[in-house]
Amino acid sequence: MSESKTHKKRDIFVEGAIAPAFVAESIAKHATQTSIGGHEIFLGQVRADPVMVSPSYHDTSVVAIAYTAYRDMANERMTAIREEAFARWPITCLHVHHSLGTIAVGELCFFVFASAAHRQPAREAVAFITDEVKKRLPIFGKEILSDDTHLWKRNA
């Protein structure tokens, strides 16, 4: 639905947690775009999920997630996903950022931000991007547990 053009390829990865100030700055940069009427944001944050390692072993919980990725492959796939979003919805802009490295509980690890003239296209694009990143990008999370063990995260 956006005009047919190829958008710039981007590296979506940031080292470490995504700072709340970065999110605020991203929003503020769009204030001068007077054709935008709606913004939609998804923020992924590391949860302190309880984990039962086994029925005979004590419970533990997530204290951090160590993210790794096949960076080049992930960025290539993300470019295709972005193009799909721009083709499906009349969005003005779309930003995606995902953390690499160890991210502590409570910190932000995933940021999707879309803008459009109206709210609905921005909403739908962000939901699409969020789901497709989870399904299609080779990003791996090793959950670091409070008992100094780890589990590999599985996307539901």
Residue 8 forms part of a structural domain: no
**Has residue 7 been placed in a domain?**
no
- Decide if 107 is inside a domain: yes
95 or 33: which leads in pLDDT: 95
pTM for the full predicted model: 0.90
Is position 3 within any domain?
no
Domain housing 136: 13-152
- State the CATH number of the domain containing residue 67: 3.90.1170.40
Scanning the structure block, which residue is given the tokens 């990008």? 137
In this structure, is residue 1 part of a structural domain? no
What is the crossing angle of helices 71-88 and 119-136, to 10°? 150
Strands (E), the chain: 13-15, 38-45, 50-52, 59-69, 91-104, 108-116, 139-145, 150-152
Q: Which two tokens stand for residue 22?
A: 């970065």
As for how many domains the chain has, the answer is 1
Q: What is the mean pLDDT of the chain?
A: 91
Higher per-residue confidence, 43 vs 149: 43
> What's the pLDDT tens digit per position in 41-61?
999 999 998 887 666 566 889
Mean pLDDT of 85-101: 97
Q: What is the mean pLDDT of residues 87-101?
A: 97
Segment 118-131 shows an average pLDDT of 97
Does some domain include residue 5? no
Partnered with residue 93 across adjacent β-strands are 115
Q: Is residue 4 part of a domain?
A: no
pLDDT at position 19 is 98
